């Protein structure tokens, strides 16, 4: 298919869609795969705002602008297996000579020299068309919709239930803010874990999207109605989720005034970006949109103040007995800057619940059926259930996901797998392609939020026992080992999850196209990638990571 015909069919702004089926448009699956995944990131069912190329997480984009996007598509359609495309903050900037086992795309997004690594400098560059915010999986083309965070959120709630509620979230109420691309996974994760859930978002359209994709059960703009629904459901032990239109700070204030103490409180508003993410309580959504354009400095001040107030209510609720934790949006940092001195008095979800999984090399393993056929994902589900019969937790998860997760864009699946398991699963997928049991190749990737791929002192590396929270050699080593190991595309980003200046992280995607070469690459990459989590945590002194290193005979 010619370039113009391709653009008209699949990438006519703002209508984006990945090609489906087993027919190639690019020269090989190695380039067809990133091409389909880039377009999938922008599919209207997947992206939060395709008209601005925004995929999720505040302003996380897939490409810098429409022109640069088209150029990337044009080059991917042409690229052969002896070259690799360089993408700098969403713009193709060159093609280098490589070889068939090298990554076909090398991506660097939003990286700034540390002393300049702040939102103000970034915005200046963005204004001049020189940068874009890549978030974690937006600019690295492996976002899969709200499912991408669903199991992680589910694991987090389940761990919270184990740690604080005798492993039972029935008759327990979870309250949180933000029902966007990632936050939208919370209601479904909460009800899957057996809890009652109240989520608050200022933007009704975001809640409507969750209703449409069946991530949330009910919606209202009336506080009293939402309160009655959730209290009644909690009383009956019903796993119901409710989306309420409003400011989360205001709703927490009202809950406090009404003497309601939810068992669990967290937050997933886009607090990592105080200007283009968080909406201050003193503004309506329309006023916020206007002020973002006219006076960013004033907006930021209002936003920081509002976050301080919001966290103040979370701290008060904690005092009254709630389990309160940060869910990875850097709300505490900006609340501290806004004047809440005690903002860090509650912990982040990684040290609270997730770090032991990281010590096992566990993380958010995900895969996508490039065919677009849901049956291909069900085939992979069955293959995993057969391959891991002893892993009842995994089997329960896959069955639940089949029942409850509506696919967004190309059918995909997520499940947290550890060292050894990921390599085994990847090779099984490659065999399914080789033997024609699935109808087209599969891509295997993960979030940048993983055991050995990120340095983020307010999130993934908060409170490391050796104090190495801010050491970002680790994600760089992760990037290099995945590149050397033969990933199909790799990425290195700054600022994902928690905003400019607060994180550096690496991503990878590896193709299963049924070939021997793919099997070799999968084996290397899915060994190296989780091994990095064990190396990182063993080096920091975590006992369970040291035991794992010995158990798996990892060379330290
Ligand atoms: P998003 O931009 O798609 O959604 C954020 C939502 O917050 C929007 O719907 C917005 O209307 C709402 N909002 C903003 N201010 C509000 C307020 N005062 N009251 C109520 N609602 C408000 O972002 P997302 O993809 O859902 O990500 C949310 C946050 O979580 C981001 O900061 C992101 O970086 C972070 N994140 C965390 C994880 C994790 O694993 N914990 C993973 C990915 C992203």
358-551 belongs to CATH 3.40.1770.10: yes
* Other beta carbons less than 10 A from residue 553's beta carbon: 6
Residue 449 Cβ inside 6 Å of ligand 1? The answer reads yes
Mean pLDDT of 433-440: 98
Please report which residue ranges of 42-103 form alpha helices under DSSP H.
66-78
Is 270 near ligand 1, meaning CB less than 6 Å away? yes
421 lines ligand 1 (CB under 6 A): no
Tokens 């994180």 sit on residue: 503
CA distances 105 to 36, 111, 139, 486, Å, are: 13, 17, 12, 11
Mean pLDDT of the chain, nearest integer: 97
Phi, psi (degrees; rounded to nearest 5) at 296: -70, -30
pLDDT at 97: 98
Domain 147-346 of CATH type 3.40.50.10730: yes
Give the per-residue pLDDT at 72: 98
Nearest to 414 by CA among 21, 136, 87, 150: 150
Q: Which residue among 62, 198, 269 has the greatest number of ligand 1 atoms within 8 angstroms of its CB, and so is best to mutate? A: 269
pLDDT tens-digit readout, 219-231: 999 999 999 999 9
pLDDT at 130 over 80: yes
Using CA positions, which residue lies closest to atom 39 of ligand 1? 328
- As a whole number of angstroms, the distance between CA 182 and CA 180 comes to 6
Question: What value does the mean pLDDT take over residues 23-49?
Answer: 97
Question: Domain boundaries in the chain?
Answer: 3-127, 147-346, 358-551
pLDDT of amino acid 39: 98
What pLDDT sits at residue 468? 98
pLDDT of residue 1: 73
Residue 439 has pLDDT above 90, yes or no: yes
Structure tokens that stand for 450 in this block? 């993983």
The number of residues in the chain equals 556
Residue 483's pLDDT is what? 98
Q: For residue 45, is it left (φ>0), alpha (ψ between -120 and 50) or beta?
A: alpha
With a CB cutoff of 8 Å and minimum separation 6, the contacts of 160 are 169, 264, 323, 325, 352, 353
Dist CA 551 CA 25 (whole Å): 45
Q: How far is the CA of 57 from the centre of ligand 1 (A)?
A: 6
Quote the ligand 1 centre to 410 CA distance (angstroms): 23
Asked if pLDDT for residue 73 goes beyond 80, the answer is yes
pLDDT value at residue 155? 87
- For residue 536, report the phi and psi dihedrals to the nearest 5 degrees: -65, -45
**Residue 287 three-state SS:** helix
Q: What is the mean pLDDT of residues 238-255?
A: 98
Pick from 199, 357, 212: nearest CA to 267: 199
Report percent pLDDT > 90 for the chain.
Answer: 97
Check if 277 has its Cβ closer than 6 Å to any atom of ligand 1: yes
- Structure confidence at residue 555 (pLDDT): 80
User: Is 415 designated active site?
Assistant: yes
- pLDDT at residue number 2: 86
Residue-wise pLDDT for 389-410, tens only, equals 999 989 999 999 999 899 999 9
Give the ligand 1 atom nearest the CA of 285.
11
pLDDT digits (tens, 9 = 90+) for 465-516: 999 999 999 999 999 999 999 999 999 999 999 999 999 999 999 999 999 9
* pLDDT band per the 50, 70, 90 thresholds, residue 240: very high
| Half-sphere exposure of residue 366: CA atoms within 13 angstroms, side-chain side | 32
pTM of the model: 0.95
């Amino acid at each position: 298919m010619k370039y113009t015909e391709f653009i008209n069919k699949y990438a006519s702004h703002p209508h984006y869609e990945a090609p489906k089926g087993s027919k190639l448009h690019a020269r090989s699956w190695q380039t067809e795969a990133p091409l389909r995944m880039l377009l999938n990131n922008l599919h209207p069912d997947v992206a939060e705002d395709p008209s601005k190329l925004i995929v999720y997480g505040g302003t996380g984009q897939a490409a810098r602008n429409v022109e640069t996007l088209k150029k990337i598509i044009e080059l991917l359609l042409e690229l052969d297996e002896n070259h690799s495309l360089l993408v700098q903050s969403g713009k193709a900037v060159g093609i280098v000579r490589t070889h068939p086992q090298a990554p076909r795309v090398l991506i660097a997004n939003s990286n700034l020299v540390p002393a300049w690594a702040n939102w103000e400098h970034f915005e200046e560059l963005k204004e001049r068309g020189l940068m874009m915010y890549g978030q974690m999986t937006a600019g690295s083309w492996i976002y899969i919709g709200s499912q991408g965070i669903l199991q992680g959120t589910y694991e987090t709630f389940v761990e919270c239930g184990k740690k604080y509620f005798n492993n039972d979230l029935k008759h327990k109420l979870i309250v949180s803010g933000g029902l966007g691309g990632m936050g939208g996974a919370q209601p479904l994760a909460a009800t899957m874990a057996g809890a009652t859930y109240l989520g608050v978002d200022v933007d009704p359209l975001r809640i409507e999207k969750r209703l449409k994709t069946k991530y949330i059960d009910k919606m209202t703009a009336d506080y009293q109605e939402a309160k009655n629904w959730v209290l009644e459901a909690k009383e009956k032990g019903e796993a119901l989720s409710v989306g309420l239109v409003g400011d989360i700070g205001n709703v927490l204030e009202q809950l406090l005034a009404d003497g309601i103490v939810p068992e669990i409180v967290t937050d997933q508003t886009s607090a990592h970006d105080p200007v283009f993410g968080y909406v201050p309580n003193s503004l309506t959504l329309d006023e916020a949109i206007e002020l973002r354009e006219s006076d960013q400095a004033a907006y930021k001040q209002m936003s920081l103040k509002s976050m301080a107030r919001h966290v103040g209510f979370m701290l008060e609720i904690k005092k009254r007995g709630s389990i309160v934790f940060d869910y990875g949006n850097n709300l505490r940092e900006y609340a501290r800057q806004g004047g809440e001195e005690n903002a860090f008095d509650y912990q982040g979800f990684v040290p609270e619940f997730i770090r032991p999984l990281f010590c096992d090399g566990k993380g958010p393993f995900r895969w996508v059926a490039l065919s677009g056929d849901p049956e291909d994902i069900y085939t992979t589900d069955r293959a995993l259930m057969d391959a891991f019969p002893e892993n009842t937790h995994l089997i329960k998860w896959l069955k639940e996901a089949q029942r409850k997760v509506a696919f967004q864009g190309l059918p995909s699946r997520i499940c947290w797998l550890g060292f050894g398991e990921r390599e085994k699963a990847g090779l099984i997928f490659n065999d399914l392609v080789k033997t024609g049991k699935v109808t087209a190749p599969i891509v295997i990737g993960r979030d940048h939020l993983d055991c050995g791929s990120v340095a983020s002192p307010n999130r993934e590396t908060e409170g490391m026992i050796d104090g190495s929270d801010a050491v970002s050699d680790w994600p760089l080593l992760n990037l290099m080992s995945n590149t050397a190991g033969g990933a199909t595309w790799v990425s290195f980003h700054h600022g994902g999850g928690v905003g400019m200046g607060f994180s550096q992280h690496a991503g990878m995607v590896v193709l299963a196209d049924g070939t021997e070469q793919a099997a070799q690459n999968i084996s290397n990459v899915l060994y190296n990638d989780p091994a990095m989590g064990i190396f990182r945590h063993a080096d920091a002194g975590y006992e369970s990571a040291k035991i794992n290193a010995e158990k798996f005979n990892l060379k330290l």
